[in-house]
């Protein structure tokens, strides 16, 4: 049996333009819970837009709304890639 | 599509003299255009105050809708009824009628951004459950149409239990005729039907109520639901038995997961299903404008834009404000002269002219600067640029223990710390906010400039250092010293009393939007009103106290000496020589009066404490007088060194250069002057700043700490520079 693939992809590992669906979330961090209140929940689809100066924070778009979050919280969101531009 | 006909008469023209028959809470997500809707519905008939005990602004306005007078409460923006900040908690508390002095709203006007219906539906779902009459205003419908979004309003109303949903554009007034007539009937409207969004929560809440009601509880089911979800919001009055029941119910409902996470999952499942039924998303083809905005939002173009913008703001605050400030200054002087010529010479004239008019005037002069600065801040807020700037600099600010949200307050304190401290309200984390508040007064504000200009002009030699002028370099150095002091303070506080988890940075970045003239004007007017009210109260009091200290006690001996000298001069001189001599005699008398005044006595009394800094009693007295407002020091030095009110700074500078200690050595040596400059760079000499820190932190602890800390730092710095420089 082949070992399972590399550790799963998170919101912190994406490139601008990537379209992803949230698969699972590590919910312990209250800041992660605040992001869930903004709609970053399992099953939600979002687009990774860009990183700020210095690589952090990140900007994602979810159903038309742009949201900024730091890498620390982004790495708690495990995602599945739906599409990558180019 | 056909826009509903507009009301011919703007509603604010209709006189309001009737009592309101009900209260409507205006609720919505942040940046959904809530304030624009509120302003359009209430016009200028609104009142801003603070909620008791917190610094959250309470805005209430009155409007007449089809003959029905209603009070509207503009609640702070929130994403959910599970509050995560002081602002959001107030919104929730008002909705549940838990705020003293604010009636429980009879109906709800939900303001939802049509381009962000995803997050809007999350809040709407919770609002519907309150079971109160409700209207939904779907704002920015023009932007949604541009993006190609289409809405099925009937399906949306059905999904929300039958509440009315009305498309509006707050900037143009489109849709407000329909909104007005809906508001006219809102009190009589049937409450929304119960919609089974989350049956498990409902039955858990019902279970709790069934057992609690027997114990005499009048809890509403929605409140029971909130108690289940909001672990931190359980009031102290809840008994231990009930707490145990609550914990058991939570365990069954949420297992080991945080309740907030489960709530978000549950509700957004419904939101996604509903969204698919009521909205068809746009083509996704970006317009030219959208492409341009996207490009400007990229890190490097955005950074360049930020630099240019800051340059323009500085330019505006210093250059554009000068003509109106000079005009105000001239007006105040003219007023002083006019009043002085009417009143008989004596205590009253001195109090009115030198105390009240000059004192309050010296602060009102800053009004143009403050308004220009606020205009830019309000524009940045209204266009959504403020959030962008915070996003850009978050990384850099984190290295000093702050977050991106601190950057705008800190930049604006280069003009004045008072509005900048008020601007820290955008920072959600309390520790972050206090660290920013305590760093802000270190930035070189406009009131420090007169002091810097005077001392640098008089004592720093005019010479070139490479390409630069030494005086300019010293001025630049003072700005840097202020910034270093602020950053060091933030670092120090964040690693000691304000230590805590690294602040997070979660921010909804609003789309770029053209500013709304009406909203900007109303916000600016509000700021002007607040500033002038303070000038009329606090500043007036401070000016009066300083005047009393410099005027009393009066010594008849000084006046007799002046009269004798004047007689002598008149006997021996004539023409311009006599004029000049009389002027000198008056100045001498003013200086002698000051030396005997309480302020002069205080200066002599504290002189030993300041002697290690190289100061004589006169500087000590001026510094004491400057504690309520640092710019006062120039005026007091002017009086103390007997140059009189009308002399320009160069003369004062000359006098300072000539000043000597009792042993004949000069008072103003270079080390002493550099120390004095450092003292002014770091010392917190501003009663208005202290008052605003008190108000914004809601405690005396922080203003007292800030004052003591900055005074100690200024004293220590001046001591070090003087002692090292003189050694």
Which residues of chain B are within 8 Å of residue A56 when distances are taken between CB atoms? 394-395
Chain A: residues touching B (Cβ < 8 Å): 25, 27-28, 30-39, 41-44, 50-57, 59, 62-70, 72-73
DSSP B51: P
Q: Does B507 sit within 8 Å of A27, measured CB to CB?
A: no
d(CA B604, CA B120): 66
- Residues of chain A in contact with residue B271, where contact means CB-CB under 8 angstroms, are 39
Of A28, A35, A43, the CB nearest to B506: A35
pLDDT at A7: 65
Is pLDDT above 80 for B310? no
Q: What is the pTM of this model?
A: 0.79
pLDDT at A81: 93
More confident residue, B476 or B45: B476
**Given this model, what pLDDT does residue B404 score?**
84
Q: For residue B396, what pLDDT is reported? A: 86
Please, are residues B384 and B512 in contact by the beta-carbon 8 Å criterion? yes
Residue B430 DSSP label:
H
Contacts of A70 in chain B (CB under 8 A): 394, 504-506
* Disruptive mutation site among A70, A71, A73 for chain B (greatest number of B CBs within 10 Å): A70
C-beta atoms surrounding B97 within 10 Å: 12
Can you give the pLDDT at residue B642? 52
Question: What CA–CA distance (Å, rounded) separates B106 from B706?
Answer: 44
pLDDT of B440 reads 94
Q: Which residues of B touch A35 (CB under 8 A)?
A: 506
Q: Is the pLDDT of residue B481 over 90?
A: yes
* pLDDT > 80? residue A47: yes
User: What is the average per-residue pLDDT within B23-37?
Assistant: 91
Placement of tokens 């333009």 in the chain: A17
B82 vs A contacts (CB less than 8 Å): 37
User: Which residue in B578, B530, B567, B203 sits closest to B371, CA to CA?
Assistant: B530
**What is residue A30's three-state secondary structure?**
helix
CA distance B99 to B219: 16
Distance from CA of B217 to the nearest CA of A (A): 30
Q: What is the pLDDT of residue B12?
A: 44
Q: Do A66 and B508 touch (CB under 8 A)?
A: yes
Please give the radius of gyration of chain A, using alpha carbons only, rounded to the nearest integer. Answer: 13
Q: Could you tell me what percent of chain B has a pLDDT over 90?
A: 25
Contacts of A50 in chain B (CB under 8 A): 297-299
Partner residue opposite A62 with nearest CB, options B118, B299, B504: B118
- For B646: left if phi > 0, alpha if psi spans -120 to 50, otherwise beta; the answer is alpha
Give the DSSP letter string of B371-418.
HHHHHHHHHHHHHTHHHHHHHHHHHHHHTTT--GGGHHHHHHTTT-HH
**Is the pLDDT score of B245 beyond 90?**
no
User: Mean per-residue pLDDT for A32-49?
Assistant: 94
Cβ contact (<8 Å) for A38 and B79?
yes
Residue ranges in B495-597 assigned as alpha helix (H): 517-534, 540-551, 556-572, 575-596
Confidence grade of residue B10 (pLDDT, cut at 50, 70, 90): very low
Does residue B161 carry a pLDDT above 50?
yes
Indicate if ipTM > 0.85. Answer: yes
Q: Which residue, B132, B138, B123, is CA-closest to B178? A: B138
Give the closest-approach CA distance of A15 to chain B in angstroms.
Answer: 14
DSSP codes of every residue in B493-520: HHTTTT--SPPP--EEEPPP----HHHH
Nearest CA in chain A to B85: A34
- pLDDT, position B540: 78
- Overall average pLDDT of the B398-409 stretch: 83
Question: Which residues of chain A have a CB within 8 Å of the CB of B508?
Answer: 38, 65-68
- Residue B644 pLDDT > 70, yes or no? no
Q: What is the pLDDT of residue B11?
A: 45
Least-confidence region, from A26-35, A70-79, B164-173, B445-454: B445-454
**pLDDT range class, residue B225, cuts 50, 70, 90:** confident
Find chain A residues with C-beta within 8 A of B261's C-beta. Answer: 25, 27, 32-33, 36
Predicted pLDDT of residue B564: 86
| B150, B304, B504, B511, best to mutate vs chain A, most A CBs in 10 Å | B504
* Beta carbons of A57 and B391 less than 8 Å apart: yes
pLDDT at residue B314 greater than cutoff 70 = no
The whole-number pLDDT of residue B7 equals 42
More confident residue, B713 or A56: B713
What is residue B646's predicted lDDT score, i.e. its pLDDT? 42
Mean pLDDT of B465-480: 82
Which residues of chain B make contact with A27, given a CB cutoff of 8 A?
Answer: 257-258, 261
pLDDT value for A68:
94
- Whether the Cβ atoms of residue B139 and residue B169 lie closer than 8 Å to each other: yes
Would the CB atoms of B118 and A41 count as touching at under 8 Å? Answer: no
Q: State the pLDDT at residue B182.
A: 95
Specify the range with the lowest mean pLDDT, choosing from B10-24, B457-471, B539-553: B10-24
Closest to B406 in 3D by CA, of B332, B206, B391, B234: B391
Structure confidence at residue B8 as a pLDDT band (50, 70, 90): very low
Q: Looking at B87-101, B135-149, B475-489, B518-532, which range is the least confident one?
A: B518-532
Angle, helix B221-229 to helix B240-254, in steps of 10 degrees: 70
Share of chain B above pLDDT 70, in %: 90
User: Peptide bond preceding A46: is omega within 30 degrees of 0, i.e. cis?
Assistant: no
pLDDT of residue B717: 94
Of B198, B138, B139, nearest to B164 (Cα)?
B138
Inform me whether the pLDDT recorded for B215 exceeds 60: no
Gap from B725 CA to chain A (nearest CA, Å): 41
* Shortest CA distance from A37: residue in chain B: B264
Which residue from A minimizes the CA distance to B280?
A63
What does the block give as tokens for B720?
């070090």
Confidence of residue B53 (pLDDT cuts 50, 70, 90): low
pLDDT band for position B573 (cuts 50, 70, 90): confident
Report pLDDT for B51.
64
Q: What is the mean pLDDT of residues B132-145?
A: 93
| Interchain proximity B261–A65, CB inside 8 Å | no
Query: Which residue bears the tokens 């599945």?
Result: A80
pLDDT at residue B85 tops 80: no
Nearest residue of chain A to residue B144 (CA atoms): A64
Q: What is the pLDDT of residue A41?
A: 96
Q: Do B395 and A52 touch (CB under 8 A)?
A: yes
> Is 90 exceeded by the pLDDT of residue A22?
yes
Q: Mind telling me how many Å the CA of B147 is from chain A's nearest CA?
A: 10
Q: How many CB pairs under 8 A join A and B?
A: 124
pLDDT, greater one: B705 or B369: B705
Considering only the beta carbons, identify the residue of B84, B149, B511 that sits closest to A34.
Answer: B84
Taking CA–CA distances from B115, the nearest residue in chain A reads A64
Give B636's contacts (C-beta < 8 A, 6+ positions apart): B550, B599, B621, B622, B625, B626
- Asked if A33 and B261 come within 8 Å (Cβ–Cβ), the reply is yes
Residue to substitute from A19, A26, A36, A56, interface B, most B β-carbons within 10 A:
A36
Is the model's pLDDT at B559 over the cut of 90?
no
pLDDT tens for B55-79 read 567 888 999 998 899 999 999 889 9
Q: How far is B264 from chain A (nearest CA, A)?
A: 5
Distance from CA of B502 to the nearest CA of A (A): 10
């Amino acid at each position: 049996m082949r070992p399972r693939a590399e550790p799963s992809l998170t919101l912190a590992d994406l490139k601008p333009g990537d379209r992803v669906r949230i698969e699972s979330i590590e919910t312990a961090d209250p800041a992660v819970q605040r992001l869930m209140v903004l709609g970053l929940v399992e099953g939600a689809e979002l687009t990774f837009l860009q990183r700020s100066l210095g690589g952090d924070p990140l900007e994602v778009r979810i159903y038309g709304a742009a949201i900024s979050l730091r890498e620390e919280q982004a790495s708690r969101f495990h995602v599945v890639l739906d599409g990558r531009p180019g | 599509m056909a826009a509903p006909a507009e009301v011919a008469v703007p509603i604010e023209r209709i006189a309001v003299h009737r009592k309101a028959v009900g209260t409507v809470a205006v609720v919505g997500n942040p940046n959904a255009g809530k304030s624009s809707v509120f302003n359009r519905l209430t016009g200028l008939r609104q009142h801003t105050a603070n909620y008791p005990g917190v610094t959250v602004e309470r805005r209430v306005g009155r409007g007449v809708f089809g003959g029905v007078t209603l009070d509207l409460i503009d609640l702070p923006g929130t994403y959910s009824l599970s509050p995560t900040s002081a602002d959001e908690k107030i919104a929730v508390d008002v909705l549940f009628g838990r705020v003293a002095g604010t009636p429980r709203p009879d109906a709800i006007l939900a303001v939802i951004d049509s381009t962000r219906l995803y997050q809007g539906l999350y809040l709407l779902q919770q609002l519907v459950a309150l079971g109160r009459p409700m209207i939904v205003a779907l704002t920015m419908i023009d932007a949604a149409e541009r993006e190609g979004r289409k809405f099925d309003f009937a399906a949306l109303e059905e999904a929300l239990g039958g509440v009315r949903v009305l498309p509006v554009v707050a900037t143009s007034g489109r849709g407000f005729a329909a909104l007005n007539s809906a508001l006219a009937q809102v009190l009589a409207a049937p409450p929304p039907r119960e919609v089974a969004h989350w049956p498990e929560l409902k039955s858990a809440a019902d279970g709790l109520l069934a057992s609690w009601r027997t114990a005499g509880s009048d809890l509403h089911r929605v409140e029971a639901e909130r108690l289940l979800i909001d672990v931190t919001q359980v009031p102290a009055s809840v008994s231990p038995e009930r707490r145990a029941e609550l914990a058991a119910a939570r365990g069954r409902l949420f297992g080991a997961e945080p309740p907030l996470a489960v709530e978000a999952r549950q509700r957004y499942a419904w939101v996604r299903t509903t969204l698919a039924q009521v909205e068809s998303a746009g083509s996704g083809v970006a317009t030219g404008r959208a492409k341009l905005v996207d490009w400007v939002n990229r890190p490097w173009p955005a950074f360049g834009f930020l630099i240019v913008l800051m340059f323009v703001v500085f330019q505006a605050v210093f250059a554009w404000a000068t003509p109106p400030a000079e005009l105000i200054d001239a007006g105040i002087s003219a007023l002083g002269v006019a009043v002085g010529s009417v009143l008989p010479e004596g205590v009253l004239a001195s109090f009115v002219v030198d105390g009240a008019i000059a004192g309050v005037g010296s602060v009102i002069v800053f009004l143009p600067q403050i308004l220009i600065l606020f205009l830019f801040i309000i524009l940045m807020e209204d266009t959504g640029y403020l959030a962008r700037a915070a996003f850009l600099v978050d990384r850099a600010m984190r290295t000093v223990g702050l977050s991106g949200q601190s950057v705008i307050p800190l930049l604006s304190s280069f003009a004045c710390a008072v509005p900048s401290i008020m601007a820290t309200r955008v920072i959600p984390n309390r520790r972050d906010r206090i660290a920013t508040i305590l760093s802000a007064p270190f930035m070189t504000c406009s009131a420090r400039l007169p002091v810097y200009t005077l001392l640098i002009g008089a004592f720093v030699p005019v010479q070139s250092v490479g390409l630069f002028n030494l005086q300019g370099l010293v001025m630049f150095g003072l700005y840097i010293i202020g910034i270093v002091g602020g950053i060091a303070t933030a670092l120090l506080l964040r690693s000691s009393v304000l230590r805590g988890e690294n602040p997070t940075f979660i921010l909804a970045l609003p789309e770029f939007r053209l500013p709304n003239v009406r909203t900007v004007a109303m916000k600016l007017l509000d700021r002007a009103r607040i500033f002038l009210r303070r000038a009329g109260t606090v500043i007036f009091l401070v000016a009066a106290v300083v005047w009393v200290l410099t005027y009393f006690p009066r010594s008849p001996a000084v006046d007799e000496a002046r009269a004798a000298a004047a007689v002598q001069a008149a006997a021996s001189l004539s023409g311009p020589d006599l004029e000049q001599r009389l002027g000198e005699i008056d100045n001498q008398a003013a200086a002698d009066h000051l030396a005997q005044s309480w302020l002069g006595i205080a200066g002599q009394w504290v002189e030993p404490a300041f002697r290690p800094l190289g100061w004589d009693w006169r500087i000590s007295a001026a510094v004491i007088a400057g504690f309520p407002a640092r710019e006062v020091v120039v005026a007091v030095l002017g009086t103390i060194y007997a140059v009189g009110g009308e002399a320009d700074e160069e003369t004062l500078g000359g006098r300072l250069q000539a000043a000597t200690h009792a042993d004949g050595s000069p008072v103003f040596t270079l080390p002493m002057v550099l120390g004095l400059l450092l003292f002014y760079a770091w010392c917190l000499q501003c009663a208005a700043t202290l008052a605003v820190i008190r108000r914004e932190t809601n405690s005396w602890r922080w203003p007292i700490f800030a004052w003591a800390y900055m005074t100690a730092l200024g004293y220590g710095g001046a001591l070090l520079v003087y002692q090292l420089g003189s050694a």
